[in-house]
Amino acid sequence: MSKDVVDSQREQSHANHTMMQSSLDSDRARPAIPDQAENPRLVVEGLNIYYGATRVVHNVSISIKTRKVTAIIGPSGCGKSTFIRCLNRMHEVTPGARVEGKVLLDGENLYGPNVDPVQVRRRIGMVFQKPNPFPTMSIRDNVVAGFKLNGYRNQKDLDERAEKSLRMAALWEEVKDKIHRPGTDLSGGQQQRLCIARALAVDPEVLLMDEPCSALDPIATAKIEELIHELKETVTIVIVTHNMQQAARVSDDTAFFYLGELIEFGATATLFTTPEKRQTEDYITGRFG
C-alpha cells in the first residue's frame, strides 16, 4: 500500500473521529427532553385515613406516573378501595370519615381549603366494582349525564360527546343501533364499559377503577383489560384489583397494601419477580391472602 493511500486513510479516520466527538459534545450540551410519562401526575404525601377515631390507612406516600397504569393489590380489608376513594375525595362522603395528609394533582393539593370536591371528581373520575348505569336513562343519556351537569345542552354536542366516549370505551359498534334504549338492557360487561364511557365523557385527567372486573366473566374481563391498555395513551389510570394476574397484565407499577400500610411499591415486573419485602413475596406466592 502506497504512502499516499495510508496518509489519506489516516486523514479520513481523523475527520470521522472529529465529527463523532463533535456530535457527542453536542448531545451532552443539549438539554434532555423529559419523558412526561415518567413525571408524577398524582403525588400522595403522608396520607392517613380515618373512620371516626379508627385509622384504617397509615401514613402512605406514593407517586403515580402520568399516562401509566398503577395497580393497588393486597388482601381483603387492607385499605385498597379506601385509599383510592381518597384520591378524588369520595371518602369524605361517608359520615365520620376524614383524611390527614396531601394528595397533589399536578402540584395542587386537592385537600386545600379552597378546592371544590365536585371539580376534583370531574378531574379524577371513578369506575366502581359493580356496573351502575342510571336505570331511568338511555345509553346515550347515561354517557352524557356528567357532561350535561357542566352546563352543556346543545343536542348535537351531546350526541358527538356520547359517540366519542362510547368509541373510547370500545362500545360504540355494539350499541350504535340502540343508543336510546335503557343502559340496563346491556350485559354486565357492556354496562361496565358504559360506566367507563360515562367517566370519560367529562375528560378526566385520572381514572380510578375499583375492581372493575370482579363481577365479570373472562371474556368481558379481557375486553376491559384491552381497553385499559388503550386508555393509558391519554389518561392516567389507578386500578384496585384482587387478581394478581390481572395486575401483572395491565399495570406498569404496583403497590402492595397490607393492614392499611403500603408495604412495597415499584415497577410491576420487578415487584412480581424480585420483591424486596418478605410480606410481598408471601402474598404474591399465595402463602396468605
pLDDT tens-digit readout, 9-44: 444 444 444 443 443 343 333 333 334 456 899 999
Q: Is 19 a member of any domain?
A: no
| Within-domain flag for 197 | yes
Q: What is the pLDDT of residues 42-87, one digit of tens each?
A: 999 999 999 999 999 999 999 999 999 999 999 999 999 999 999 9
Domain CATH code at residue 155: 3.40.50.300
Question: Does residue 123 lie within any of the structural domains?
Answer: yes
With 60 as the cut, is the pLDDT of residue 289 above it? yes
Does residue 122 lie within any of the structural domains? yes
Q: Considering the domain boundaries, does residue 263 fall inside one?
A: yes
User: In the block, which residue shows the cell 475527520?
Assistant: 15
In a domain, 147, yes or no: yes
In a domain, 255, yes or no: yes
pTM, whole model, 2 decimals? 0.84
Residue 122 CB-density burial (10 A; 0-12 exposed, 13-18 middle, 19+ buried) = middle
Q: How many Cβ atoms from other residues are within 10 Å of residue 204's Cβ?
A: 19
Query: How many distinct structural domains can be found in the chain?
Result: 1
Best CA proximity match to 139, nearest among 113, 173, 115: 173
Element (DSSP H or E) covering residue 237: strand 236-240
pLDDT band at 149 (very low <50, low <70, confident <90, very high): confident
C-alpha cell at 113: 381549603
Task: Tell me which of 31-40, 66-75, 188-197, 238-247 is least confident.
Answer: 31-40
* For residues 85-107, average pLDDT: 94
Whether residue 92 is predicted with pLDDT greater than 80 in this model: the reply is: yes
DSSP single-letter state for residue 214: T
Between CA 180 and CA 212, with CA 203 as vertex, the angle to 5 degrees is: 70
Q: Write down the pLDDT at residue 243.
A: 92
Report the range of poorest mean pLDDT among 20-24, 57-61, 141-145, 175-179.
20-24
- Assigned domain for 23 exists: no
Residue-number span of the structural domain to which 58 is assigned: 36-284
User: Alpha helices, DSSP H only, in 151-265?
Assistant: 155-168, 172-175, 188-200, 218-231, 244-250
Q: Residue 215 pLDDT > 60, yes or no?
A: yes
